[in-house]
C-alpha cells in the first residue's frame, strides 16, 4: 500500500519512505529570472509607448528588444530543468516500485480539490501526485502487475490493524 504525502512523496505500508523531490535550486533560479523578465518587459513596453506618443519616424517594436527575450529563455530553461528532473525522479521511483511489488494499492486522491488549500497547494503541485499515479498505472500494465485505487474516505482515521476510528486529524 502507498500513501502519498507532502513531506514524503510515498510512504509504503511496510514503513519505507521515499522523500519528495527537491527542486529548490532551479525554482529559485527561475524565480530570479522571472523578476528580471517582468522588469525588462515592463521597461520595453514603456519605451515602445514613448516612441508611439512622440510620433517617432521609425518607432521601435516589442520584438526589437532582445534583453527581455533572453530573460524569458533563461527563465524557461530553469523551469524546464526542474520539470525534467522531477519527471526523471518519478520515473525511477515508479519503475522501482512496480518491479519490486506485484500488487500496489494507492489512494484515489482528488488533487484538484486538495489544491484549494492555499497553504499546501504549491507543495502538492511540486510533489506531482497525479503524475506519480499515472506512471504507476501504465507501468503496472506494462509489467503485468495489479494497481488498486482505494477510496480515500477515512483512510487516515481507521487503524489498518485493529479497525479503530480515531476521528479527524489536523493538517
Query: At residue 8, does pLDDT exceed 90?
Result: no
Cell 488498486 belongs to residue: 148
Q: Highest mean pLDDT: which of 73-77, 118-122, 130-134, 166-170? A: 73-77
Band (pLDDT 50/70/90 cuts) for residue 118 is low
Domain regions of the chain by residue span: 2-150
Instruction: Tell me the sheet residues that pair with 146.
Output: 103
Tally of residues, the chain: 171
- Dihedral of the alpha carbons of 45, 51, 55, 56, in degrees to the nearest 10: -140
Q: Which of 31, 71, 68 is nearest to 46 (CA)?
A: 68
Q: Beta strands of the chain (E only): which ranges? A: 2-4, 8-12, 17-19, 103-107, 146-150
What's the pTM value of the predicted model, to 2 decimals?
Answer: 0.75
Per residue in 10-33, is it b (16+ CB within 10 Å) or e — as a string?
A: bbbeeeeebebbebeebbebbeeb
CA distances from 103 to 58, 110, 143 (A): 69, 22, 11
- pLDDT tens-digit readout, 17-56: 888 888 889 889 999 999 999 999 999 999 989 988 888 8
Amino acid at each position: 500500500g502507498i500513501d502519498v504525502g507532502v513531506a514524503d512523496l510515498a510512504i509504503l505500508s511496510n514503513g519505507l519512505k521515499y522523500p519528495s523531490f527537491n527542486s529548490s535550486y532551479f525554482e529559485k533560479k527561475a524565480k530570479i529570472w522571472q523578476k528580471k523578465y517582468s522588469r525588462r518587459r515592463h521597461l520595453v513596453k514603456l519605451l515602445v509607448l514613448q516612441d508611439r506618443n512622440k510620433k517617432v519616424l521609425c518607432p521601435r517594436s516589442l520584438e526589437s528588444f532582445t534583453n527581455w527575450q533572453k530573460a524569458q529563455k533563461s527563465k524557461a530553461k530553469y523551469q524546464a530543468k526542474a520539470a525534467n528532473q522531477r519527471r526523471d525522479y518519478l520515473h525511477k521511483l515508479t519503475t522501482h516500485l512496480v518491479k519490486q511489488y506485484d500488487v500496489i494499492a494507492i489512494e484515489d486522491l482528488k488533487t484538484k480539490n486538495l489544491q484549494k488549500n492555499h497553504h499546501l497547494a504549491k507543495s502538492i503541485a511540486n510533489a506531482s501526485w497525479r503524475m506519480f499515479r499515472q506512471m504507476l498505472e501504465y507501468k503496472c500494465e506494462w509489467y503485468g502487475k495489479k494497481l488498486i485505487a482505494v477510496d480515500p474516505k477515512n483512510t487516515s482515521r481507521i487503524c489498518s490493524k485493529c479497525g479503530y476510528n480515531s476521528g479527524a486529524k489536523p493538517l
